[in-house]
Amino acid sequence: MRIQYLLIALAITASVYGQFTCSDAHASGSSAATCYCMAGYYGTSTDASGSGCAACPPGSNSQAATATGTLVSSCTCYDSNAQLKSDNSACQCMANFYGTPNSTSGGTSGCTACSNGQTAPAGSSTNVCAAATTSTKILSLIALFLLLAILI
């Protein structure tokens, strides 16, 4: 009986004074079940056992995951016209923009928008903006025609 009281008292003391030490140095939490990536890191799962939190690539950042379990699975590029590459390795200009993303927080965008109606793939570093090709237009006309034929 006394030992149980002692354990409860210890647990309360630990939760008040002790910050749980997560196995991942880039995670923090109050218990193994609530270890989450710190600001500037992202992960694919809560980190109770491993080293699941990876640093955001240059020019990006992340909010600290909350202790209630919000998962931060990727980072946000500082440049508002940029996005992370699919492998999270770096920031690149979004589709229909070209250039080099500004890696300074709050800086002016290094990605320039294509002029009206022109498109460019995500990750374009030079001006490769081009009008939608005529074959695309012809295909959409054929699709429209087929749709009409089906409806009639």
Ligand X SMILES: *[C@@H]1O[C@H](CO)[C@@H](O)[C@H](O)[C@H]1NC(C)=O
List of residues contacting ligand X (CB under 6 A): 102, 104, 107-108, 110
CB of 108 to ligand X, least distance (A): 4
Taking the least distance from each CB to ligand X, the nearer of 24 and 79 is 79
- Amino acid code (one letter) for 54: A
DSSP-assigned letter for residue 26: T
CB of 67 to ligand X, least distance (A): 34
Taking the least distance from each CB to ligand X, the nearer of 111 and 114 is 111
Look at residues 109, 70, 71 and name the one whose alpha carbon lies nearest to residue 93: 109
Angle at 45 between CA 40 and CA 48, to 5 degrees: 95
CB of 20 to ligand X, least distance (A): 39
Taking the least distance from each CB to ligand X, the nearer of 43 and 59 is 59
CB of 136 to ligand X, least distance (A): 32
CB closest to ligand X, residue no: 107
Q: Is 36 exposed, middle or buried (0-12, 13-18, 19+ CB in 10 A)?
A: buried
CB of 79 to ligand X, least distance (A): 8
Taking the least distance from each CB to ligand X, the nearer of 28 and 81 is 81
Taking the least distance from each CB to ligand X, the nearer of 48 and 123 is 123
Q: How many CB atoms lie within 10 A of CB 89?
A: 10
Burial pattern 103-136, b for ≥16 Cβ within 10 A else e, equals beeeeebbbebbeeeeebeebbeeeebeeeeeee
Beta bridge partners, 28, equal: 36
